[in-house]
Amino acid sequence: MNLSPGVVLALTLISFYAAHAINIPVSQAKKSEWDPKPILKQESNHGPLPKSVPSQKQLFPRHSPHEHPLARPSRPLRPLRPFQRSMQDYHLNILAKDVKLANFQDKVYFCPVEIGTPGQKFNMAIYTGYPATWIPSIHCPSHYALCNPYRRFNNASSSTYRANGKTFDASFEAGQVEGYWSQDNLKVAGLIVRNQSFAEAILEPNMFKDMNIDGVLGLRPRGDADGEELTVMDNMVRQGLLQAPMFSLFLNRFNFGDRDSLLTLGGTNPDYYTGGFIVAPLTMPNRWRFKMDGVQTSNRDGVVSRWGCETEVDSASPLIYGPMEEVDILNLMLGGKPHHGWPRTFFFDCSKVDGLPDVEFILNGEILSLSSKDYIIKEYRDGEFICYSAIEGMICRRDETPVWILGSPFMRAYYTLFDKQTNRIGFAKAKH
């Protein structure tokens, strides 16, 4: 994969600079046909915790939620079926391989990976929004402080290393990653992938500061524009390590005593979900993108998104994002209060979050609901708890389709199957 300079991945990956945990994506909208994901605007001036929040009236003087044209009270989008569709063909665990994931504060999930012979160990973030795998290189200059906290790949001490010669250059939300492509054996989940292409970074933006994570394991499918380098999943299937080009993710909740998060390569692990899968066909070959019917609240106050929405699943996004106008209405309907300094964050009274309605994502006429426990983030700050919505608005570029991004708050509730064999994505209730 040979990304041209200037290709911008509008990653929703982790904003490590903001003191606040909320990740606000960046806007460095260089034109790129390769990545149609909405480019997002930087708003990371999250100040100290607001003591009081202004009334909704001040910020939204013209519409109450119900007056807003998008939020007309309405009946559900379609006759809704209960969540019970069964997909027996997905129970393929006999040949699938599991690897436990570590959870960094519900923001990044990562697993151990070895590269080279003998294996050099790295912790790699699981990332379904990006196809390439990269780690820092020993050739990242040692005076360059940003490379120091990380384990670095040393090609000279691997007997199976092969140079590739192509340069690597990608923009992430946290900054630019530059380096070159290399090939070596890569071991994950007990599977050894021979001659795997990966990027050695010689410049990187300190993306995983203080997280004990070194690089990224790219799990997005490769598209024509992504160059020639095969992804880890491509090679696993070609080399006969997996029967099917699919994987699934169970994401646990930090500090909840849940069992470990799990990546299952080649199928699903039925111990980690209940019931069947609700599935949707992919709408783009090189992304985990599909179409939802809409989003609404369970008290049927209104449908915030009624035309059907392009949606992606992103394991490295610590929040759920949607088009700003729709998300603002949704959060207002839920009773959230926005605040000046935190323009897209809606706060809730922590003592009342239990009584909030569910947020319902509608897929194939079926409801995937998130309870307030799923979509409200509770944090202890400056001696008190604050509660805010895990669903945030983002500005979409005018020339781009508005997209919802279902990050880890959604994936913690729904076990997710990423299936390139039949080009579908599937969701089942996670069993915590």
Q: Catalog residues that contact ligand NAG under the rule CB under 6 A.
A: 139, 155-156, 161, 163, 194-195, 239
Q: Are 158 and 187 in contact (CB under 8 A)?
A: no
Q: How far is the CB of 328 from ligand NAG (least distance, A)?
A: 49
Whichever of 161 and 410 has its CB closer to ligand NAG, that residue is: 161
The backbone torsions φ and ψ at residue 61, rounded to the nearest 5 degrees and listed phi first, read -70, -25
Closer of 69 and 165 to ligand NAG (Cβ): 165
Q: How far is the CB of 228 from ligand NAG (least distance, A)?
A: 14
Those residues with Cβ within 8 angstroms of residue 340's Cβ, 6 or more apart along the chain or in another chain:
50, 54
Task: Please report how close the Cβ of residue 165 comes to ligand NAG at its closest, in angstroms.
Answer: 9
Buried/exposed code over 118-147 (b: 16+ C-beta within 10 A; e: otherwise)? ebbebbbbbbbbbbbbbbbbbbbeeeeebb
State which residue, 195 or 421, has the beta carbon closest to ligand NAG: 195
User: Cβ closer to ligand NAG: 132 or 303?
Assistant: 132
User: Cβ atoms within 10 A of the Cβ of 231, count?
Assistant: 26
Q: Taking the complex as a whole, how short is the minimal distance between the CB of residue 424 and ligand NAG, in angstroms?
A: 29
- Closest separation between CB of residue 176 and ligand NAG, Å? 19
Alpha helices (runs of H) in 39-140, residue ranges in sequence order: 56-59
**Residue 145 or 156 with smaller CB distance to ligand NAG:** 156
Residues 6+ apart with CB under 8 A from 381: 49
Q: Considering the complex, what minimum distance in angstroms separates the CB of residue 164 from ligand NAG? A: 10
Secondary structure (DSSP) of 189-254: TTEEEEEEEEEEEEE---TTTTTT--EEEE-SPP-GGG-SPPPHHHHHHHTTS-SSSEEEEE---T
The sheet with strand 303-305 has its strands ordered as 303-305, 294-297, 359-363, 366-370
User: How far apart are alpha carbons 146 and 229 in whole angstroms?
Assistant: 27
Residue 375: both structure tokens together: 């979509």
Burial of 371 (0-12, 13-18, 19+ CB in 10 A): middle
C-alpha–C-alpha distance, residues 96 and 341, integer Å: 47
Using the minimum distance from each CB to ligand NAG, give the nearer residue, 200 or 310.
Answer: 200
Closer to ligand NAG by CB, 55 or 195: give it: 195
Instruction: Name 387's bridge partners.
Output: 348, 378
To ligand NAG, the closest distance from the beta carbon of 137 in angstroms equals 8
| DSSP 8-state code for residue 413 | H
We find the least distance from the C-beta atom of residue 353 to ligand NAG, in angstroms, to be: 52
58 vs 195, which CB is nearer to ligand NAG?
195
CA neighbours closer than 13 Å in the CB half-sphere of residue 23:
28
Using the minimum distance from each CB to ligand NAG, give the nearer residue, 161 or 388.
Answer: 161
Task: Please report how close the Cβ of residue 163 comes to ligand NAG at its closest, in angstroms.
Answer: 6
For the chain, the first-to-last Cα distance in angstroms comes to: 37
